[in-house]
Amino acid sequence: MPAEPLAAYLEAMLRDHFEVNAEALHPDATFEELELDSLAMAEILAIIEDERGLRISHDLGLTSETTLRQAVQLITSLLEEQAAASSPAVRPHTFPPSDRVPAEQMVTDPASEPASVAR
């Protein structure tokens, strides 16, 4: 979610869900100035998670002195990191094809193991 749509989404949530006066909403407004406490900040993150299907750490670093601009930057950075980490092109292969044992070579019955295998 790019920063601009996230900022508009956050502002709409603060107006509609938390009943923050639209005139008080500007990029440099702090959560304290908007009279939002730590519980409200946690609820904001939970709403974003639920509505957008995202995972956001609640120790993201939001404080009462965090501005809306900083909150958007923190959340956007986290979402970009998550998107990069979940990209199949970036994800390493755990078992490359050359390391796999063909099914016919797998031992499934302990009685059929060679006698040289110590127990």
The answer on pLDDT for 6 being more than 80 is yes
List the CATH code of the domain at 3-86. 1.10.1200.10
Token duo for residue 109: 């019955």
Q: What global pTM score does this model have?
A: 0.65
Does residue 102 carry a pLDDT above 60? Answer: no
pLDDT single digits (tens) 39-90: 999 899 888 888 877 777 767 788 999 999 999 998 888 878 777 777 665 4
Backbone angles phi, psi at 53, to 5 degrees: 65, 35
Angle between helices 3-16 and 68-86 (to 10 degrees): 120
Contact 7, 26 (CB under 8 A): no
Where do the structural domains in the chain lie, given as residue ranges? 3-86
